[in-house]
């Protein structure tokens, strides 16, 4: 009886802790969303107030500019709520297969234009013969673009004298394809390593980062049965590894049972 009572107390304590944890996460998330949405909202309000004064003074070009700014700010708010939808969405029941080479090269070609202008050297060691993986190309491209942008941001925070380099490599096992994105930036601090995947965790200045990139990327990769991990490279810089499941490996047992 004594043991049963202890077990009951333990179970009650555990469920209280889970509840407290959920409430804390909800609080943190609400604070983040409120903060991010309030900034553009306040700005829209002042642009609108200003536009009325400008209209009274017949300064139509300035009114037009204010309206343009309001448009940009609503786009920004739409991006925030759009990103949040990724969290609300249920994982898809079935996912097709994607060609990792096409996907990553697609992301790289979108990124190269931005990168070249900022003096970044890209070392693409992917090869052309990576096997298909479980996933969806557009969403995977979003993951890689986010990793490339983060790498560039980290390197730009350093002195311009430090060479900016990005390496993209892949490793294949019978079950998985792991793609690593390494940069020559400052690497990840212990706090970054601990918190980088938390929603709304960012070390970037307001307006530059929302802190949602990695948590959304992790969510996407998890939807495909894969993993996303972060580490410091022994040679310096951060390395993010996207581990994806091979599509053929997944289909093999199904074919055998058919």
Which of residues 54 and 214 has its CB atom nearest to ligand ADP in the complex?
A: 214
Which of residues 66 and 215 has its CB atom nearest to ligand ADP in the complex?
A: 215
**What's the min distance (Å) between Cβ of 230 and ligand ADP?**
7
Which of residues 135 and 211 has its CB atom nearest to ligand ADP in the complex?
A: 211
**What's the min distance (Å) between Cβ of 129 and ligand ADP?**
27
Binding site for ligand ADP (CB under 6 A): 146, 150-151, 154, 183, 185, 188, 192, 196, 201-204, 209-215, 238
**What's the min distance (Å) between Cβ of 65 and ligand ADP?**
28
Which of residues 48 and 162 has its CB atom nearest to ligand ADP in the complex?
A: 162
As a whole number of angstroms, the distance between CA 143 and CA 213 comes to 8
Which of residues 4 and 208 has its CB atom nearest to ligand ADP in the complex?
A: 208
**What's the min distance (Å) between Cβ of 217 and ligand ADP?**
7
As a whole number of angstroms, the distance between CA 178 and CA 184 comes to 20
Strand partners, 165: 121
**What's the min distance (Å) between Cβ of 76 and ligand ADP?**
13
Which of residues 170 and 239 has its CB atom nearest to ligand ADP in the complex?
A: 239
Q: What is the CA radius of gyration of the chain?
A: 23
**What's the min distance (Å) between Cβ of 185 and ligand ADP?**
5
């Amino acid at each position: 009886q004594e043991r049963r009572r202890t077990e009951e107390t333990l179970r009650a304590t555990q469920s209280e802790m889970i509840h407290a944890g959920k409430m804390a996460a909800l609080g943190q998330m609400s604070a983040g969303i409120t903060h991010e949405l309030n900034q553009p909202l306040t700005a829209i309000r002042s642009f609108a107030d200003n536009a009325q004064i400008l209209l009274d003074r017949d300064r139509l070009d300035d009114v037009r500019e204010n309206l343009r700014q309001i448009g940009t700010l609503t786009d920004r708010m739409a991006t925030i709520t759009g990103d949040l939808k990724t969290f609300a969405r249920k994982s898809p029941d079935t996912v097709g297969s994607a060609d990792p080479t096409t996907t990553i090269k697609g992301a790289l070609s979108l990124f190269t234009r931005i990168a070249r202008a900022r003096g970044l050297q890209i070392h693409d060691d992917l090869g052309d013969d990576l096997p298909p993986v479980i996933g969806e190309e557009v969403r995977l491209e979003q993951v890689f673009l986010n990793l490339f942008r983060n790498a560039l941001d980290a390197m730009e925070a350093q002195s311009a004298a430090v060479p900016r380099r990005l390496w993209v490599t892949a490793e294949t096992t019978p079950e998985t394809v792991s793609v690593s994105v390494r940069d020559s930036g400052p690497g990840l601090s212990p706090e970054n390593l601990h918190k980088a995947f938390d929603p709304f965790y960012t070390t970037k200045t307001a307006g530059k980062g929302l802190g949602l990139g990695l948590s959304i990327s992790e969510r996407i990769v998890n939807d495909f049965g894969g993993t996303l991990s972060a580490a410091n490279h022994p040679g310096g810089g951060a390395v993010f590894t996207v581990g994806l499941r091979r599509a053929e490996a997944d289909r093999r047992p199904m074919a055998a049972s058919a």
